[in-house]
Amino acid sequence: MRIKDMEKQEALFQATIKVVNEIGFASSSVSKIAREAGVSPATLYTYFANKEDLLISTYIEIKRVLSKTAMNGIDDDMPIRDCFEQVWHNYFEFATRHRDYSIFAEQFANSPFNEKVDQTRIEKMFEPLGRLVARGIQMKIIKNVNPDVIGAFIFYPVLILTNPRLCRNFKITDEQIQQSFQLAWDAIKL
């Protein structure tokens, strides 16, 4: 058995995102992704069972990186609002810097492949955020609604604002970012 090379695996991750974002899931093939990564299709099969496995693994890796980045700088001793603001800013910066990841993840989430993802694995990655939401509800700082509703009102706007095709007139300035967070916070706070 061949030893897996982290550089090749990263190249396949980046190539998958690039190819899918350029031509979509249906037109993407193992050979096109391998060519973009600079490896042979046989090498790709060292890491992934098939195209579906590659796409799902890429999505899970994006979620892993996002979950780790989102919680950067969060401390259980921080006030709830400050925690949400830090997570929001982390997510905003992630979505701005990694627009390609966001595009891939959005396409994936709206595809039939999403149904094949072990959602408990994704939920486990975001457990710290879930605990933050639960703590905010328990402390009567944020509204006691379904956590998915909280996520939709505080984090979904980031995807819209960081997408220049959807927000053509939005200029990313500190003032605009702060106003945007405040509107999102106002939607979930008690």
Q: What is the pLDDT of residue 1?
A: 43
Q: What is the pLDDT of residue 3?
A: 55
Helix (H) or strand (E) holding 29: none
Q: What is the pLDDT of residue 178?
A: 94
In residues, how long is the chain?
190
CA-to-CA dists, residue 114 to 58, 76, 124, angstroms? 12, 32, 16
Question: How much is the average pLDDT of 15-31?
Answer: 95
User: Cβ distance 20 to 104 under 8 Å?
Assistant: yes
Contacts of 75 (CB under 8 A, 6+ apart): 83
Q: Residue 4: which pLDDT band, with cuts at 50, 70 and 90?
A: low
Q: What is the pLDDT of residue 75?
A: 87
Q: What is the pLDDT of residue 166?
A: 86
Question: How much is the average pLDDT of 8-15?
Answer: 94
101 burial class (0-12, 13-18, 19+ CB within 10 angstroms)?
buried
pLDDT at 142 over 50: yes
CA-to-CA dists, residue 172 to 21, 66, 104, angstroms? 23, 20, 22
pTM: 0.90
Q: Which amino acid is at 72?
A: N
Which phi and psi angles does 71 have, rounded to 5°? -90, 5
Q: 3-state class of 142 per DSSP?
A: strand
Q: pLDDT of 155-180, one tens digit each?
A: 999 988 998 888 888 888 999 999 99
CA-to-CA dists, residue 125 to 9, 45, 102, 119, 148, angstroms? 21, 26, 17, 10, 15
Q: pLDDT of 71-129, one tens digit each?
A: 999 988 899 999 999 999 999 999 999 999 999 999 999 999 999 999 999 999 999 99
